[in-house]
Every structure is written in C-alpha cells, then in structure tokens.
Amino acid sequence: MKKRFLSAMLSVAMAASLVTGCAGSSSGTADTKAENAKTGDTKADGGAEAEKKDTQAASGEYVTLTVMDGYAPEDPHGQYIYQYAEEFMKENPDIKVEIQAIASGDIYTKLAAMATSPDDLPTMFFTSADQVPTLYDLGLTEDLANWMDKEAIDGLANGVMDACTIDGQMTYYPVAVQPQAVIYRMDRFEEAGLEVPATWDEFVDCAKALTKDSDGDGQVDQWGFSMVGSNNSSGQSRFMSYLWSSGYELAYREDGSDEWKTDITTDPAFVDVFSKWTDMNNVEGVVPTGITEVDYPTAANYFAMGYTSMFLTGPNALGVAYANNPELKGKLGSFKLPGEYSGTMLGAEGYAIITKSTDAQKAAAAKYLEFFTSHDKDMKFWESSGKIPSTTEGQKVSYITGDDYAGFLKQIEDGCRPTLAFAGISGLKSALGDAYAAVFSNEKTNGQAVEQLVKDLGQLLEDYN
C-alpha cells in the first residue's frame, strides 16, 4: 500500500472523529459554566477527617476545583467530562469545577515542571498506574484514604485498590481500568482458518497470514498487526507489555531489599526476544509502513479502517473502532497477550488530588470523584470510550459482556501484574523506546540496541538505588 494513500485516508477519518489514546491530543483550557451557581452549606461525604470540613473556603465563597484532565480533549467520551461537571455543580452550587483539557501524555511533564510552583498546581489531575509512582515521589499525590467515603473505596472492583496504592497510601482514585490485550478481527481469523495465538511465535505466524495485497495491485494494503512504533509513552508501554509477557522483569526489588534490579542483559536469549518485536517491521513486514510515525491514534485508526487485523491495546481502542466504523460490531474479539506470563498491569487510571490543595478543596474533590463514578447509571463515559469501569457495580454493565471484551475480562480474572512502583519508570520507558526506535530507523542492529539499553538501564537503576 502507498503511504500517501494511507495518510490521505487517515486525514479524512480523523477529521470526522478526532481520536486520542495514551498519547493524548492537542491541549487547551475549557472552563465549565458556573456563573449562575449559588453558595451553599454542603458538607463533604468523605472520611473521618473530611466529613467535618465544609466545602466552602469561607462563607459566601465558592470552592474552586481545577482539574487537569486528560480525558477532556478526547473523542467521543470527552463530552461527558464536561457534562458530569455541570451536573455535579447543579447538585453542589458551592463548588465550581474548572476543566483544563490537556493531552494525557503531557500531564506528567507539566506537573513535574510545576512542582516547584505550588500556586500554579491544579486541585486534581488525571493519572494512571504507569505515571503515578514518579508523581508520588515528587510529593504531589494526597492519600485519598483520608478523604474518600468508605463506601466508595469498598465499591472498587477486585485488584483496583492495590493498583493505586503505594507505600500504603491511596495515591489516586481510579475511574476505569485498562489492562492490555489484543483485539482482533474474528471474521478474518475465521476466513483464514486461524486459531487465537498462545505464543508470540504463533502471533507472528497469524500476522503473516493476515498481511496481504487485498486488491490485487501488487502492493500490500492489509497488515496483520497494528503496532504502535512511535517512541512515546504509548509505544513504550506496549513494548513493556511484550517483554513482561515474555518473562522479563524490567525493574524489581527482591523481598527485603531496597535495591532495584533488572532482567535485561546482553544475553542472546534476550536479544532474540527483543529482535522478534523489531523484526515484525524490519524483516517480516507485518506492520504498516512508516512504523516510527505510527502513534496510538494512527494505529487505532488503521485498525478501525480495516488496514490491520490485530492491535495490542487497552479496551479504549474498541470505542475508537466502533466510533469510526460501526460495521465492526460483531466482528471484533479480544484475547490475552501471548506468552506464559502476565504482560499487563491492571491499567487503573483516574484522578489524584494535589497535596498542596486546601482541606476544603480536598473534601470537595473527593465528593466530585464519588459523584463521577456513581451518578450515571447508563455509564455513557465508559461505553463511549470503550473503557472498563473500576467499580464492581460498573463491571456488570452489559456492553462489556461480548467477545470483544472477553480477553480483557479473562486477563482481569486470571490476574494482572502488580503496579510497578518504580519512581524512575519514565526513564525506563524512554530507554526502551530509544532502543527499539534505533532499530526501526536502522541506526543500530538489534545487538547494538540491546547493548545501549543495558547501559542506560544500569545507569538509571544506579540513580535510584
């Protein structure tokens, strides 16, 4: 297939429906309307401390919650961020919610830069299991166990509380879980006589069988695997999942030890595993052309438009696929990552409260989070995004009971990896991204890239030991 043709088609699709994922989208600021709100005397419905605190900073004044929100600029579910905020303010006229729409991938960088300027910090911010350890290490995350209502905490689904806990503190309140799995075209698997792969070798074989010239013009226009090959958080996280599922621990501490270690070495066995990933582009040709430019939105659109047949991703990509191509309903399934080991954390994501916020803001923020996850019985935010609710009650919703969610739910049932509470996780991901990117661009061989990766990780772990 010609790259220009793909780019042109994607421009049309993305103009019709702007799609973002882990990598986010362009940022902006959107203030929810609250000009007509009136002051009140509402009490926070939080923990033992919080229930004694008035959400008003002073009589006749609003408590203002500024929310740095990675969901807000995303389609189609971003609209519900504003809708829920408006509905919350109607019920709580003494609280004003200001949504700051910002690409989720930019939040960590922005907060890290703002950490030394507390007056500029928001009240709350979007975060996830792979970002929060560093933000916790910077002292930005309040212990929500002191503010959230016990009923709200007890209502979280199995494993969710563990996913957001570091050193015994509830660092954020998850509203959704995003374990990694592979979504695939069941119709194409059936047509090709393929079985769901249990190993990465079988996965590559399936990808080869699904890579073809579908229109007979002599050029490949359909690929087996919608790989995210960009050197950013989205690409790096997927590569991490691949390595975990292959049995490699990227950063770990042995029981009773404070020293961080890694399984990544220049051993030929690891070089082979590393090479299997990069070879899918450089040797096998089972991923779309221009792989270094394929970020999450692009890969998700490739899958939605039928250019690819498998996609390693969170369940949010199902929302993207159906929004862009409703005809895919009934044609999609999902399966656990190949390999003998769990390749995914639970992927809990939600909101943290900034430690430097006032008590009134913390109480109001806790109340807002409880409202967010409980008031919409139709679960419109979750269904439109394809995300899986974080609560036990939410996971009973009908839209996640089909073949398309089966692999994600199976992964949750079988168990996900514990949250990697390594404060240097952003550096770890960057080192992994630099390694595969160097091979994709033919700057290094697989062996050379692994050698550099081992050096980079060695220095990183030394910095945190």
Total number of domains constituting the chain:
2
pLDDT band of 349, cuts 50, 70, 90: very high
Q: Are residues 315 and 451 in the same domain?
A: yes
Q: How far apart are CA 115 and CA 306, in angstroms?
A: 43
Please determine, for residue 89, whether its predicted confidence score (pLDDT) is greater than 60: yes
> For the segment 242-278, what is each residue's pLDDT rounded down to a tens digit?
999 999 999 999 988 889 999 999 999 999 999 999 9
Q: Are residues 279 and 368 in the same domain?
A: no
Please determine, for residue 24, whether its predicted confidence score (pLDDT) is greater than 60: no
Q: How far apart are CA 132 and CA 387, in angstroms?
A: 19
| Residue range 200-226: mean pLDDT, rounded | 96
Q: Are residues 244 and 201 in the same domain?
A: yes
Q: What is the b/e burial string over 60-81, where b = at least 16 CB atoms within 10 angstroms of the residue's CB?
A: eebbebbbbbbbbbbbbbbebb
Contacts of residue 452, defined as CB under 8 A and 6 or more positions apart, other chains included, come to 434, 435, 438, 444
Q: What is the pTM of this model?
A: 0.78
How many angstroms separate the first and last alpha carbons of the chain? 49
> For the segment 292-335, what is each residue's pLDDT rounded down to a tens digit?
999 999 999 999 999 999 999 999 899 889 989 999 999 999 99
Q: Are residues 397 and 292 in the same domain?
A: no
410 found inside a domain: yes
Angle in degrees, 0-180, between the axes of helices 425-440 and 268-282, rounded to the nearest 10: 60
The distance of Cα 316 from the centroid of its chain, to the nearest Å, equals 8
Q: Are residues 424 and 310 in the same domain?
A: yes
50 found inside a domain: no
Q: Are residues 393 and 430 in the same domain?
A: no
* DSSP 8-class letter at 375: S
Q: For the chain, what is the mean pLDDT?
A: 87
Instruction: Say whether 334 sits in a helix, a strand or coil.
Output: strand
Q: How far apart are CA 54 and CA 31, in angstroms?
A: 24
User: Which one has a higher pLDDT value, 44 or 207?
Assistant: 207
Domain with 85, as residue range(s), is 63-178+347-414
> For the segment 163-175, what is each residue's pLDDT rounded down to a tens digit?
999 999 999 999 9
212: number of CA atoms within 13 Å, CB side?
10
Q: Are residues 185 and 319 in the same domain?
A: yes
User: Which one has a higher pLDDT value, 132 or 40?
Assistant: 132
| Residue range 440-448: mean pLDDT, rounded | 98
Beta-bridged to residue 223, according to DSSP, are 308
Check residue 448 and give its pLDDT. 98
106 found inside a domain: yes
332 found inside a domain: yes
Provide the 10 A C-beta neighbour count for residue 340: 10
7 found inside a domain: no
Q: Are residues 291 and 189 in the same domain?
A: yes
> For the segment 388-413, what is each residue's pLDDT rounded down to a tens digit?
999 999 998 999 989 999 999 999 88
CATH code assigned at 161: 3.40.190.10
**E-strand spans in 232-295?**
none
237 found inside a domain: yes
Q: Are residues 337 and 190 in the same domain?
A: yes
12 found inside a domain: no
299 found inside a domain: yes
Q: Are residues 92 and 103 in the same domain?
A: yes
Question: How do 173-177 and 223-225 pair as beta strands?
Answer: unpaired
Check residue 116 and give its pLDDT. 78
Check residue 15 and give its pLDDT. 38
Identity at 188, one-letter amino acid code: R
Q: How far apart are CA 372 and CA 387, in angstroms?
A: 14
Q: Are residues 195 and 334 in the same domain?
A: yes
Q: Are residues 221 and 283 in the same domain?
A: yes
Check residue 49 and give its pLDDT. 43
